[in-house]
Amino acid sequence: MRFRAILNKDGGTLRSLDLDDFSQRAEALFAEEGHALECRVIGGDAVEAALAEASTAEAVDVMLAGGGDGTISAAAAAAYASGKPLAVLPAGTMNLFARALGMPLDLDAALVAIARGRIENIDIATANGRPFVHQYGVGIHARLVRIRNGMSYRDRVGKMLASLRAILATAIDPPRFEVELVGPEGAKTHVVSGIAVSNNPLGDGPIPVAARLDSGLLGVYLAAGTSSRELVALALDVFTGRWRDNALVSEAEVPEVVLRFPKRKRGNHAVVDGELIPLEPSVTLKLHAQAMAVVRPAEDAA
């Protein structure tokens, strides 16, 4: 098969690599496996255009995206729109979608897994038509990302420390807002500190990723209005994989849900796959079953 790799030189761990050497090794590896790989090293501001071009190019059978979760989310949106299969190179901080795919997190091992992988169809979700592969969130997560984005960090460890500082800053004054959920059983209003909707229900464990990617269902998670102490305790439960046992958390699994924010203020944000976007007064979230083609790692390479 003919692969084109779009490598975001400004994103994730790729910033610290010799990308010319990496590209040469990757192209040689794919050739050994009987494929053709063309690597394009792209600056962050041009990545989306490069992904869009690769997703529709007749000379490309599979698009390979390398970068952080924002790059991978943009690549997934392009792949979903065009029908082009997507391969994911986990070069970010959390690599949430790559983890859900079962992709090795070591870059060299991931290249082998992709070259020897298989194409499968998986689910993808949309929020008012905007595709996402991991999560849509409002409240706690959006505030955390906004605070973290105002901090300076240079590498993965720095970003993780910035996230910890952002959690502590959020805990000082937890968000609290009203949301109306409209689902299969009708409408119900809740007062919460956070709401998250995931592409497939989340599994157990310290890193919240989907247990599978073909259930045909969204995971909907609410965190009831919390005090600072309760929010810190919830954060600890998330980090230790015990969040499902926290009394503040409720969850549901549905193919579609509408969120309405009757008291939304101007300037409020949501977060989609780690990227802040303006919060709309009404958001329709849908699960599109097996609507995107991806490369899953071969069992001997994972």
Amino acid at 47: V
Query: Residue 146: its pLDDT value, please?
Result: 72
Site of tokens 């050994």: 32
- For 48, the token pair is 């989306």
Nearest Cα to Cα of residue 50 among 39, 61, 36: 39
- pLDDT of residue 281 exceeding 90, the answer is yes
Radius of gyration of the chain from Cα atoms? 19
Model confidence band, residue 302 (pLDDT cutoffs 50, 70, 90): very low
- pLDDT of residue 127 exceeding 80, the answer is yes
Query: Residue 148: its pLDDT value, please?
Result: 64
What is the mean pLDDT of the segment spanning 53-80? 95
The reported pTM is: 0.88
- The set of residues, in sequence order, having a beta carbon less than 8 Å from that of 178 and lying 6+ positions away, is 189, 190, 191, 261, 262, 263
